[in-house]
Amino acid sequence: MPQDDAGRLPEQPVPGRTTGPPALVPSLSIVNCQVFDGVSGELTDGPVHVVDGRITEVGPGATASADLVIDARGGTVLPGLIDAHFHAYGIGLDCSASSPAR
C-alpha cells in the first residue's frame, strides 16, 4: 500500500461512519454504570437516560427505553458535569493578592 513522505498509510474509510459531526440520536441510555449525581456524595448503580440531548432520568428508578444503549460496565458517569477548567494566561489574575492575610 502506498505511503506518504512521513511513512503514513492513507486514511481508510470506516464502514458506517460519515464525515462531519456525529448525528444526535433521539434517545440514549448509559447502563451498567455507577452514577455520581453531585448531590448525595455517593455513587449509586443505575442508568442515565438522555432524550434530544437532555438528561431526563438518572439512577436506580430510571426505566426509559432508548434508541441507543451504551454499556458502561465498570465505569462511572457524571451526568451534567461541566468542565469549567481554563487557563488564564496573561490576564493578570493574582488570587493571593485578593485574599486577606490570616
- Would you say domain 27-81 falls under CATH 3.40.50.300? no
- DSSP secondary structure letter of residue 42: S
| Residue 61: per-residue pLDDT | 82
Q: What are the sequence ranges of the domains in the chain?
A: 27-81
pLDDT of 14 over the 90 cut = no
CA distance 72 to 16: 22
Average per-residue pLDDT for the chain: 75
Query: Across residues 66-89, what is the average pLDDT?
Result: 82
Q: pLDDT category, 33, cuts 50, 70, 90?
A: very high
| Residue 63: per-residue pLDDT | 81
Q: pLDDT category, 71, cuts 50, 70, 90?
A: very high
pLDDT of 34 over the 90 cut = yes
* In contact, 24 and 52? CB cutoff 8 Å: yes
Q: Which amino acid is at 69?
A: V
Please tell me the pTM assigned to this model: 0.57
